Structure 1
Amino acid sequence: MYSDTGHAGTPTSTAPSAPTWDPQQYLRHTGHRTRPFLDLLTRIPELPRQRARIADLGCGPGNVTALLADRWPEARITGFDLSPEMLQTADRNHAGPTPGGGSLDFRPGDLASWLPEEAYDLIVSNAALQWVPSHPGSFGAWINGLRPGGTFAFQIPGNFKAPSHALLAELCDAPRWRARLAGHGARYVHHLEPAEYLARFTALGCTTDVWESTYHQLLQGPDPVLEWVKGTALRPVLTALGDDREAVDAFLTEYRDRLRVAYPSGPRGTVFPFRRIFAVARKEA
């Protein structure tokens, strides 16, 4: 799949060792992962049509795609993702007609090459574009694929310098793991800073709203940060180690010990700060 957190994410089909995804692991922190998408929804303006056509890029297990139907109950909504595991879960749990007369369906789609095959009122992406190095180069085509007055909106993690990711990259490049994992801790992480996104969309003639938020999440349970990244940032590493259970256990133990120091457990849980970058770009009516 293409995503981190509220959705989870898969690299492009041409990337080496494309990660396999575990929808159930990803959904373990579904409340925290969904909150940024709900905040994004509040800033999306009125769409050109009541019976809107909507694309969700990097839909993951479909749980946030279903929230689009709550906001636009008459819309025809399609979620696109590269992960068969995620699409299977999304299709099983969410596909079909919606109570407002709209519909939800899910299709395979690689965000590195996806182009609108029809005019959309809204193209949205939740915690997915960070897996696609080329995503800023697609903005022009995606905006062109909107109806006049349509919107492109996304949110992505902006925490790749945080200890959770820095420690992962450091461990992958350690002598014990370098031959098998060098680069896997950061290979699929790509994003611009908010001002750069703002410049891109204003250059395309869009009315643009860009902002960032840091969510100080209180996670529960033993080693909750490790459990969080098992659903997202660790997927390339776990895929590379494959069925070597001894290596998987050894790597997770080393990483867990480092995370415990960086994110100490408190009396009410473990604080996990998470920065997010948001953008809403509305095409001229």
Structure 2
Amino acid sequence: MIYLNVEINGNYGEDTFWTWFQREFPSSKFEIPTELKDEDIVLRYSTLGFLPIIGKQVALCWGLYPQIDNFFGTDMYDNIMQKVYETARYSTYRIVATKESVKDYIRFGSVDIIPMGVDTNIFIPMNNKKELKEKYNIPKNKRIGIWIGSYHPMKGFGELLKYASENPDIYWIIIWELQQEEIEMPNASNYFKISQTQIAELINCADFFLSTNKLSSYFMLEWEAMACDIPFVIIENSTREFYPSANPRDDVFKRGWDRVSVKKLWEQFLIRRGVKW
């Protein structure tokens, strides 16, 4: 049995890693166990803290809190980081999404790299930009930029405002990640609480994706934009772990962020640990 311990299972009906994993590994279930058999394992999101039971546990260290702490030098996430490091220290195994995060957890033991996985069947390049612009009432005679994020400093909203003021000819598609962010940016179409399908369509309306991420690793939303094969304009806040090529969708597959590759990595990981599913 594979037990899935999640902090947030997703918003607005999106197909998250967790719902995808349960579908691909049917014996898995959302439950916090009280005991584990030898063939069982717990996949536990690291911010939940360590689960004090005997048996195989995996700390999913996907949050970029160590990078945030290093960049901003803030104590804002001290309580969360204490739980994350506790989970990493006392779990049997640790998994991160990219090689950039290995250094943050290697002191606790071995670290495996398994990406979170992009749904490359939803996030695809589309060849109907004109029709999509009509559907969403996006101007057809302007250069269109898209930005997806929140007010959090690591997402770089201030850089978006600066870039937009320096390029007043650009019309913007703005997608807000969090429900409470009811702001509307001028000279833009603002979207809140929309589906993954709508996000993919809006990405395909744009001429470029503006990345204002201040960290080395890319956020999931940036991987999803790459899967749509949209050109990236990157505001340099830090050295990125890599820079998207002229065909970003190829980068997704080359780096194993597609779900087919991710499933194979999970199968190999579970087989090596003697887990049945």
Greater strand content: 1
From the CA coordinates, give the structure whose radius of gyration is larger: 2
TM-score (norm 1): 0.30
TM-score (norm 2): 0.31
Using CA pairs below 8 Å that are at least 6 residues apart, which structure has the higher relative contact order? 1
